[in-house]
Amino acid sequence: MIKLFRLDERLIHGQIAIKWSRHTGVGHIVVANDAASKSEFIQKTLKMAAPAGIKTAVKSVDDAIKLLNDSRCEAMKILVLVNNPKDALTMVNNVKGIPFVNVGNYGRVAPEKPGMPRKSYGNNIYCDVEEVEDFRALVKTGLKCIYQTTPEEPAEDLNKIFK
């Protein structure tokens, strides 16, 4: 069972390892990221950043979809991480059982595309025009979509951010 589906450009970091994993009580983390799945170095780094005792898998988006749709995952408490809105939309459209979308930080460190500057959409969300459209499409799926960096902070409706 997916306890938390989070979009955060940093993937596994302190907020995930300490706050979100404890808050959700997960035993597994699935990182869905094509680039990370192809890099042994990035995989090792992400697994080292994960909390002790939590099994961590780094998969391509397609492989993560297959894994998460496997009926054996229903008995597990899983935190799923993606690092961009396009991958989040792909996952939401293809994975059963995502309870809601939690967006943390996006766009501060991601490289800009040529001729597509990013604009601020809140404290920690910076998007170009294509990414804004991906976020709007994510909201249009009907799934609850929120912005919330840590569990202690109030959740903000993404629909209000990307009007």
Give the residue numbers marked as catalytic. Answer: 13
Q: Vertex 151, ends 26 and 55: CA angle to 5°?
A: 20
For residues 37 and 121, give the distance between their C-alpha atoms in angstroms, rounded to a whole number. Answer: 29
DSSP state of 132: H
CA pair distance 159, 163, nearest whole angstrom: 6
Instruction: Give the single-character DSSP code of 18.
Output: I
The answer to whether residues 102 and 132 touch, using CB atoms and an 8 Å cutoff, is no
What Å distances lie between residue 2 and 99, 114, 117, 140, CA to CA?
7, 36, 34, 21
Strand, coil or helix: 60? coil
